[in-house]
Amino acid sequence: MNPEYIQVSDEHSNEVKTTIERVNNEERTLTYSEAQVKKTKGIPFGAKLGLIDGRVYAIWVYHREEGPNTGAKPAFLTDTVRTAAYRSGLRFGTEVTHVNDLHVIKDFGGDLEACERYMKEETFVKLNTISHMETHRMPRDKTRNLGLSFLGDGTIAKVEPGSLAEDTGLSVRRWIYCVDEKHHTLGRPPQEIHQVLKNVLNVKMNKHTANLMNPATVEKYLSGFSVVCVPKSLGKELERIGNEICERKRSNLVYDINYALDHNMQVYNPDPAAGSRMRKYQPQAKLSKT
């Protein structure tokens, strides 16, 4: 095995604080965090940075390390060889403010590629980040009304009083980013978002399956499932930029940012026949209110 790909670990992460602030005329719940990760010098950090409304966000985060210069997955790599970005807790859509106490805009002259090169050549990388995502827990109660109404672009327009959505803490002017940690719905039509929520809500676990599972997993299932929301304006930009990257990356495959997120952003170029199984990328239609 190439010694450059031996994973090293000397990392820590901690949540600093969570506050409610106004950003771009939107009220957002912001979680400030700091994380440090050790990596091999010369190996890419594993994240692509992008500028949205004067702030720097992670617009692509690889979960696994890729081969040098090729972008292809080496045969010897497994799921356990995680990128430094992933191990640091950095995720798609997270704002990055500082790298090793250097401001990502001011200290790098606005050159985000220079910042990425800097992280590649460092052995220790400390990140200061802000998450704009809001994570809620929806009770797995099939007897109650979901109570959600959407605009044509997937924005939550109404949360009915006494509904599952209200108990979950969902609020208007938000996009649903992810359901149950694996179903991403950025910019998807309202009907599709409703269907994803109902499908996850109706997942059944029989007694035999429960006996075979880890008790913690069973308890997590019984407690409900996660619904992660993102402010509308940020969600639209993340979807746009994510789809632009997908457009550049794909060759014979057709997929969008939601498909990439569902597959841990590890989208390669397998057999062309696999293209028929990919989720088709459809540019978002004009905004329409319902």
Q: Using DSSP, state whether 11 is helix, strand or coil.
A: coil
What distance in Å separates the CA atoms of residue 85 and residue 45, rounded to the nearest whole number?
Answer: 6
Q: Using DSSP, state whether 115 is helix, strand or coil.
A: helix
Provide the sign of the torsion angle of the four alpha carbons 63, 68, 73, 78, taken in this order: negative
pLDDT, mean of residues 105-114: 94
Six-digit token pair at 186? 């950025």
**Residue 175 scores a pLDDT above 80:** yes
What distance in Å separates the CA atoms of residue 185 and residue 259, rounded to the nearest whole number?
Answer: 9
**Residue 203 scores a pLDDT above 60:** yes
Please report the pLDDT score of residue 140 as a whole number: 86
CB 239 within 8 A of CB 257: yes
What distance in Å separates the CA atoms of residue 99 and residue 111, rounded to the nearest whole number?
Answer: 13
DSSP state at residue 169? T
Q: Are strands 174-179 and 183-184 parallel, antiparallel or unpaired?
A: antiparallel
What kind of architecture, by CATH, is found in domain 133-290?
Answer: Roll (2.30)
Cα–Cα distances (Å) from 31 to 57, 128, 268, in that order, read 14, 11, 32
Q: Using DSSP, state whether 20 is helix, strand or coil.
A: strand
What distance in Å separates the CA atoms of residue 123 and residue 105, rounded to the nearest whole number?
Answer: 21
Domain 3-131 carries which CATH code? 2.30.42.10
Six-digit token pair at 49? 């940075």
pLDDT-derived band at 149, boundaries 50, 70, 90: very high
pLDDT digits (tens, 9 = 90+) for 6-37: 334 455 666 678 898 988 888 899 999 999 99
CB 147 within 8 A of CB 193: no
Please report the pLDDT score of residue 290 as a whole number: 37
- Residue 5: closest CA among 88, 82, 99: 82
- Return the domain boundaries, the chain: 3-131, 133-290
What distance in Å separates the CA atoms of residue 179 and residue 200, rounded to the nearest whole number?
Answer: 8
* Percentage of the chain modeled with pLDDT above 70: 75
Q: Do domains 3-131 and 133-290 have the same CATH topology?
A: yes
- Residue 122: closest CA among 206, 282, 10, 1: 10
What distance in Å separates the CA atoms of residue 78 and residue 75, rounded to the nearest whole number?
Answer: 8
Cα–Cα distances (Å) from 283 to 46, 190, 251, in that order, read 27, 15, 17
Among the ranges 69-78, 179-188, 268-277, which has the highest mean pLDDT value? 179-188
- Residue 82: closest CA among 128, 45, 51, 135: 45
**Residue 208 scores a pLDDT above 80:** no
Q: Using DSSP, state whether 77 is helix, strand or coil.
A: coil
- Choice between 167 and 290, residue whose per-residue pLDDT is larger: 167
C-alpha atoms less than 13 angstroms from C-alpha of 109 in its C-beta half-sphere: 4
- Choice between 124 and 269, residue whose per-residue pLDDT is larger: 124
Six-digit token pair at 123? 């052995």
**Residue 1 scores a pLDDT above 50:** no
